[in-house]
Chains A and B, each alone.
Chain A
Amino acid sequence: MATPFTNFRIFWQSAYLSYKALFRWFSPISYASSKVIMPLFQLIFFTFLGTFATGAENAPFFLIGNSVLAVAINGIYGVSMTVGMERRQGTLPYLFGTPANRLFLFSGRAVVHIFDGMVGAGISLLAAVLIFRLDLSATNPLAFALTILITSASTAAMGLLLGSLSLVTLNVMFFNNTIYFLLLVLAGVNLPLEMLPGWARIISQGLPLTRGLAAARMIVAGSGLGDIWWLLVQELGIGAIYFTIGYIAFSLFEREAKKRGTLEAY
């Protein structure tokens, strides 16, 4: 029978496994390429595009936006791929054969990526400071780190939802890419929310990252936790909603996948 202790173990085992999978998949070279080089050039591209379009004084807007977006590489791709990869390697049926608590199995997969995502954002921010001389003198580091942590967690919750999709579709990469690009365009990363047409603003309110990023911008501008706590609570709330939907979907899809026998299909 599952005791709290076994659940705890399942959680960490699951976390450990997804961490191992991450590093087997991403050898150091390819880890650098998708976690450092890709986000870095993305940051450079959008900063040049943004300053060309709207003036050099707006560089910090694009720098902060794209740095915070780096958490989504782990949150979206990393998290959903751990499930997808298990399917490809054929280990899913074994996992589902166990009576392990699904909630812990499920969330364990995300935890490593939440922290790795923070590292990613840190690397991008460092690049922004070194290359573009982003000014962080007014930033409260603790408040900023907390904001990044929460944002990373809420994108990882979205990633879990996408990951559970991979139980029923082989095209999860398509959804990953689409969501990632929606964040890029609609979450206030490269376009101020005020510039968006009404329908796009509605979408942006439903995405993770939107509020966390808004909070991060305020912190860089000198605000303290007292000014932004409400945004963080909302960001957490969004994350919790995606987590819940993801968890329900995971359970439903698990049953569906067992019925259709798609667990082993690749």
Chain B
Amino acid sequence: MSQIQTSDTLILEITSSGKVGLGALLRAMFTAGWYNLKMMAIDWFVIFTVIVQPLLFAFLAVFLLKGKGAEFPLISIVVGSGMVGIWGGLLFSSAFNLEGERWIGSLEYIVASPTPLGPVITAKTASNVLTSFVSMSACYALAAALLRVPITIANIPAFLLAVLVALASLLCFGMLLAPLFAVNLMMTSWANALEFPVYILGGFLFPISLLPGWTNPLSYILAPYWACRAMRAAATGGEGMWAEISLSIAVMAILSAVYVILSFWLFRVVLRRLRERALLGMQ
């Protein structure tokens, strides 16, 4: 029989409401994101959405669009097919992260802990999106070097700013998607259905002016649309660049705030529903 005592005094970093404090929350999010990366590195499905699919898309887009010349320069194609990859990663990780926990059986343990579920899932999604971004950038840089096609970015600081804001607002969009997917437990196929509509409405590889006018408002409420616009403006430069970037960033900020507020509300509703219907675990 072991003589190890398990009842040492232990003071948890927990506020009076029963939730973890801010420092502990950030730590938990970091661990969640980091371990998610560790587990993901061996997931082939992720490798597909992050590398194979965007590269095939880029191949297709380059071959189709190379005739457009200055109207749709190479960097626009890179940004557009990059957005295809990031959206794929964001969509599938928002859809699967929560469902994955349910599959593993860990969702119940997480929900019962003093760390709220939303930030944990968001941290995981963030690590997914960040990997798609990094690995895709690396792929394009490599492809450009191998094929000796220069990928020129007109204004590098502006581009970095645009990328940063774009990633942040995409992540907020992901925060909204995760509980939405949890409302319906057949989310796998809904994720499939949502993939292409955003490629279309986001204007990634062709302008949305080609679409019927009534769809434009839908584009305007999607962060991916503005993210693509901001990055494209910074990459191609030109006269109205800063106006375009500031407009996109401003809209992304507003949209992100709305997404986050909705996300908090939805997470609460969904968790309550899952608790009422005994859907946190798998039967």
Contacts and interface: CB of A to CB of B under 8 A. Distances in A.
A–B in direct contact per CB < 8 Å: yes
A126 interface: no
Contacts of B196: 38, 41-42, 44-45
Contacts of A191: 60, 63-64
A96 interface: no
A177 B67 contact: no
A185 B59 contact: yes
A50 B47 CA distance: 27
Interface residues of B, number: 33
A156 B200 CA distance: 29
B63 A49 contact: no
B206 A48 contact: yes
A234 interface: no
B186 interface: yes
B52 A178 contact: yes
Contact of A34 (B72, B192, B197): B192
Chain B interface mostly helix, strand, loop or mixed?
Answer: helix
Given A44-B200, A53-B65, A185-B56, A173 B190 contact: no
Interface stretch (A7-15, A22-30, A210-218, A238-246): A22-30
Contacts of B47: 174
Given A48-B211, A52-B206, A53-B65, A174 B44 contact: yes
A263 B195 CA distance: 32
Contacts of B63: 191, 195-196
Contacts of A42: 196
Contacts of A30: 186, 188-190
Interface string A33-63: 1100110011011001111111000000000
Contacts, number: 88
Contacts of B189: 26, 29-31, 33-34
Contacts of B68: 53
A34 B63 CA distance: 28
A33 B64 contact: no
B48 interface: yes
Interface string A157-201: 000000000000001011001100110110000110001100000
Contacts of A50: 64
Contacts of A54: 64, 67
B193 A41 contact: yes
Given A29-B186, A54-B67, A174 B192 contact: no
Interface string B71-110: 0100000000000000000000000000000000000000
A188 to B, nearest CB: 12
B59 to A, nearest CB: 6
B207 interface: yes
Interface string A53-93: 11000000000000000000000000000000000000000
B247 to A, nearest CB: 23
Most chain-B Cβ atoms within 10 A of its Cβ — which of A45, A48, A191?
Answer: A45
Interface of A: 26-27, 29-31, 33-34, 37-38, 41-42, 44-45, 48-54, 171, 173-174, 177-178, 181-182, 184-185, 190-191, 195-196
- Name the 5 nearest CB pairs between A and B, nearest first: A30-B189, A41-B196, A174-B44, A52-B206, A171-B44
17 contacts: A29-B184, A30-B186, A38-B192, A38-B196, A41-B193, A41-B200, A45-B200, A48-B210, A49-B64, A49-B205, A49-B206, A174-B44, A174-B45, A177-B48, A177-B52, A184-B56, A190-B64
Given A30-B188, A33-B189, 14 more contacts: A30-B186, A30-B190, A33-B193, A41-B197, A49-B206, A51-B210, A52-B207, A53-B67, A53-B206, A171-B44, A173-B48, A177-B45, A177-B52, A185-B56
